[in-house]
Amino acid sequence: MKMNFIKNVVPLLLTICMIVVFGAIPILIVGTEIHVSAYLIETKNLILSLLHPHEITYYITKPERPLFPEIFNPYLYSLTVYFSAFFLSILLGLLLSFVTINFFSKSVKRFVSFLVFVLESLPDLFIVAVIQMGIVWFFKKSGILVMSFTSLPDERSYFIPIIALSILPTVQFFKMFMLSLEEEIQMDYVVFARAKGIPFIAILPFHVFRNTLMSIFYQSKSILWMMLSNLLVLEYILNMNGFTSFLFMYLSPELFVVALIMLLLPTYLLLLVFKICIKKLNNEEVVL
Amino acid sequence: MKSFIVKNFYILLGSSFIVGILLASCINGIFFDGEIKQTQAIYIDAYPVDAAPFKPSQSFWLGTDTNGRHLLHVIIEGAKYTIGLGLFIAIFRMFFSFVLGTIYAFHLQKYQRVLSALSNAFQYIPVVLLAYFLLRPVLNQAFEGFQYSFAIRVWYEIILLILLVLPTVSLVIGNEISIILRKEFIQSARTLGASSFFILRKHVIVHIYRRLLIIFTQQVIQVLLILAHLGLFELYLGGTKIDYSIMKAAPITTTYEWSGLIGDYFDLFIVYPWIPLVPIGAFTLTILSLNLIVKGLEKNMNSEPATHTKRLKQKEIKKVALKEFNFKVVTRD
């Protein structure tokens, strides 16, 4: 039990250490000079302020304002968009791959895989820009504004950001599901179940899905971090007053460290829950 | 035979786009001094009838920006800087990661758990955010002007973009190498007296160079993506000039480098959507063709077994054989 706990917490602590080490680097390297003593002092200050988070302030010009109750508003907004997009993309990926495997013929599948290839190589910047253009075009044609571009704290838009953020992960999940499902379908137990007369649609969710959990975990690890940087771009382009816009506006070493840790914690927690689920369901160990 | 054409078709298509645009860019730079065609207004009988920006049309293929510069021309002129920078950074990333990965695979296997834990910790930090945080104090122009010279700014950015991914990529390459080092033929080579360097040169590289090529192409894509993002956040290669006067002019790039163009043009997005979409589209096409190359390389890798260590030529074999059998027959009485 104790061993397990250490295994789960050590990577988290390591990452936090790393973030703190990076936090003061702008002080360490100034042009071509290197100031080690100033760096050490700054690092000490960073650690001290992490221990007393209520004293952290943010400012562009004075007066300084306390960071902590203030930051939760944009933070919760961004997290909502982030996690809903993540779960939406898992659901959509699953749904689409089930549909493709069950109902589509071979030539359609080939076309789908081509489409996946193209979509996968599009940069997030392009996708978000095109979506925004689409909204403007739609507004010009029909007069219906799907999403307002000036988001105020009270009226925040969720629909379009979540959709825009979930496109790339959906494509990646879809691709991964297709690969592991096609591999899994040829296994003996699937053939056996089909021979017993269990319909294919019933086998898929209950048997095959469970066995692909491992690969979902590893994939979602990298997808979650990819989505974080997509979130930055999204908030910038769609003018959402989210967490990362806040971070960009008031960027300082303290804020950077705190913000990265705040982004790290929920994501890490989610992966941990995933890990425990896989352990309970399949009795398989995965590395965080 | 058909599959041979298909698998090379991907690589051909992808690389021809990149080579083509690089060539065009260099030709424009060398023979036309990097000049950009500019049409600020259209005159009919000496009366101006229309002024820039123009929409994409037959006479302006991708339209023009607000100063009347032809965007197709701008993109071609900027290609050599952006793609060149991507290739440059990726080459150095690969070089250093290969060196580090080799050291890791040959000598540091004892510390595998510690090292992979460290590099794992590293991958949880979004690279774009980190790059932005570390680059902003150096690249942005302060109120009193730039703190550092142009060369320092450029090299700082390049070195930073190289260093940021070294832990992850070296570990990937190191793991690839160590998988090969565990194979049986390496054991027999060692028994025959091969040195580590010989094994690296004759056995390891032969097996992983395809994999290295794929990683290299993916690295180019990654660098381009980071550049595009940094450009969007108005951190340009070599520094952002910020106009602190009252008439706030937009930050300017001087080289028509793509990431800078994205930042420059992005404010025009709502009014003239095609203008920022052109550099973004250029990035997209480049990344798409790089991905085509990756796909071609992957197909190539799966379909053909890795070429084995170069066979000795027939003559050399004879020589070796002669040496070995050239012993005296000792007869015993």
* pLDDT band, very low/low/confident/very high, at B288 (cuts 50, 70, 90): very high
- Whether B127 has its CB under 8 Å from any CB of chain A: the answer is yes
**Does residue B243 surpass a pLDDT of 70?**
no
Contact indicator for B106, B203 with CB cutoff of 8 Å: no
Residues of B in contact with A248 (CB under 8 A): 132, 233
CA distance B217 to chain A (A): 13
Q: Is A22 helix (H, G, I), strand (E, B) or coil?
A: helix
* pLDDT band, very low/low/confident/very high, at A232 (cuts 50, 70, 90): confident
Amino acid making up residue A210:
R
Contact indicator for B162, B96 with CB cutoff of 8 Å: yes
Other Cβ atoms less than 10 A from the Cβ of B185: the count is 13
Superfamily classification of domain A65-251: MetI-like (1.10.3720.10)
Q: Average pLDDT of A164-193?
A: 86
Residue extents of the structural domains in chain A: 2-57, 65-251
Q: Which value, to the nearest 10 degrees, does the dihedral of the CA atoms of residues A159, A164, A168, A170 take?
A: 20
Contact indicator for A228, B126 with CB cutoff of 8 Å: yes
**Does residue A198 surpass a pLDDT of 60?**
yes
Other Cβ atoms less than 10 A from the Cβ of A68: the count is 14
Q: Which value, to the nearest 10 degrees, does the dihedral of the CA atoms of residues A193, A195, A201, A206 take?
A: 0
* pLDDT band, very low/low/confident/very high, at B216 (cuts 50, 70, 90): very high
User: Considering CB atoms only, which of A15, A123, A136 is closest to B121?
Assistant: A15
The 10s digit of each residue's pLDDT in A76-133 is 888 999 999 999 998 999 889 888 887 888 888 888 888 898 898 888 888 888 888 8
Secondary structure (DSSP) of B5-71: HHHHHHHHHHHHHHHHHHHHHHHHHHHSTT---B--EEEETTEEEEESSPPS-SSSTT-B-TT-BBH
Task: Look at the alpha carbons of A120, A124, A130, A132 in this order and tell me if their dihedral is positive or negative.
Answer: positive
More confidently predicted of B4 and B121? B121
Chain centroid to CA B263: how far? 20
**What's the pLDDT score for residue B101?**
92
Which structure tokens are listed for B255?
């080289």
The continuous run of DSSP H or E covering A121 comes out as: helix A106-121
Residues of B in contact with A229 (CB under 8 A): 126-129, 229
B139: nearest CA partner in chain A: A31
8 Å CB contact of A123 and B284 = yes
Mean pLDDT lowest among A246-255, B24-33, B231-240: B231-240
**What's the pLDDT score for residue B6?**
58
User: Considering CB atoms only, which of A18, A26, A32 is closest to B125?
Assistant: A18
Contact indicator for A242, A74 with CB cutoff of 8 Å: yes
- Whether A132 has its CB under 8 Å from any CB of chain B: the answer is yes
**What's the pLDDT score for residue B303?**
66
* pLDDT band, very low/low/confident/very high, at B306 (cuts 50, 70, 90): very low
Label residue B273 exposed, middle or buried (CB < 10 Å: 0-12, 13-18, 19+). Answer: middle
Cis peptide before B56 (omega within 30 of 0): no
**What's the pLDDT score for residue A19?**
86
User: What CATH class does B2-325 carry?
Assistant: mainly alpha
**Does residue B229 surpass a pLDDT of 70?**
yes
- Whether A248 has its CB under 8 Å from any CB of chain B: the answer is yes
